[in-house]
Amino acid sequence: MKLKQRLQQWSFFKDFGLVDKGVLQPACHHYVHFLRSTVAFEPVEVGMAAILPCFWIYKQVGDYIFKSHNGSGNPYQRWIATYGGGEFAISVQRAIDICDNVASKSTPEIKNRMTVAFVAASRLEYEYRNAAYHLTKW
C-alpha cells in the first residue's frame, strides 16, 4: 500500500475512540508556532530546514520501534508499519536530498539560518516527545 494511502486510512483518534482533541499543550504549541512562523517569515530554504527534523526523527523513532517492538500485539502496529521500514525511509531520504540540494545553492548566511532552524526544530521535536511521555500540561 502506498504511504499516502496508509496515512489517510490510519486514524489514531478513530481507532482509540477519542473524540475530544483537547488543549494544545505547551511543547506542541511551541513547536507548531515555531514551524508556522519560520515558514511564514523566513526564506523558503529556512522553512524547509525547519520542517525536515519532523520527518527525519519520525523515521529514526519508527525504525527503532520497528526493529525492537514490532509485533502483532502492539497497539501501535499501524503507526510502526507506516513510519518504520523502507517506504517512509524513501520519502524521508528524498526530503533530505532536496534540502541538501537547496542548501548547496544557498548563500552562507542562508545555510547558517537553515542550520539554526534545523537545530531549533530538532530540540522542539525532542521536547514534544518528552512532554508526551511525561504528560506535560499547562
Q: So which residues are the catalytic ones? A: 54, 125
Q: Residue 10: in which H helix or E strand, if any? A: none
Q: Give the type of residue at 119.
A: V
Q: Give the type of residue at 4.
A: K
Residue 137 CB partners (closer than 8 Å, separation 6+): 23, 25, 26
Q: Are 96 and 56 in contact (CB under 8 A)?
A: yes
